[in-house]
Amino acid sequence: MLDPGADAPAFTLENQHGEPVSLGGTDAAYTIVYFYPRADTPGCTTEACSFRDEWDAFEDAGVRVLGISDDPVSDLADFAADYDLPFDLLSDPDGEVASAYDSYGEKEMFGNVFDGVFRNTYVVDGEGTVVLAYEGVSPEDHGAEILEDVAALDD
């Protein structure tokens, strides 16, 4: 897990529209970089919808949201369309970016061991520094939780 104060690893990945999206190069006060295991699964859908449901507040606060998984772009496009997700979902097919954020590795499910994405979230400031980090997050109301924590950063 990257700790607050660490430099956020730079990246450029394709979004659900096949367009390149980078961490930097934006006027956002903060960028949320959240990693999730699989598009259109119950927990990942709950988490994505928690960001969607707080979207107006994120925009008002100048906060950008980037969701990253190892899903292919086509799966991300369907996921975003099915749930009306207004933010970028990024495809990290080899888990390279997730690995750089300590959010990819060996997992076990139903007795099977495999490599996959961990449910972690980072908030990065405009200078590219990690200011908040969440490990193994609960997907329910995660968007509201982060919104409150980001507001507290500016108090």
| The one catalytic residue among 2, 44, 65, 123 | 44
Q: Is 44 a catalytic residue?
A: yes
Could you tell me if 36 and 51 are in contact, meaning their C-beta atoms sit under 8 angstroms apart? no
> In 2-129, where do the E strands start and end?
12-15, 20-22, 30-35, 63-69, 88-91, 104-109, 112-117, 121-125
Rounded CA gap, 25 and 144, in Å? 25
**First-last CA distance in the chain:** 26
* Residue positions annotated with a catalytic role: 44
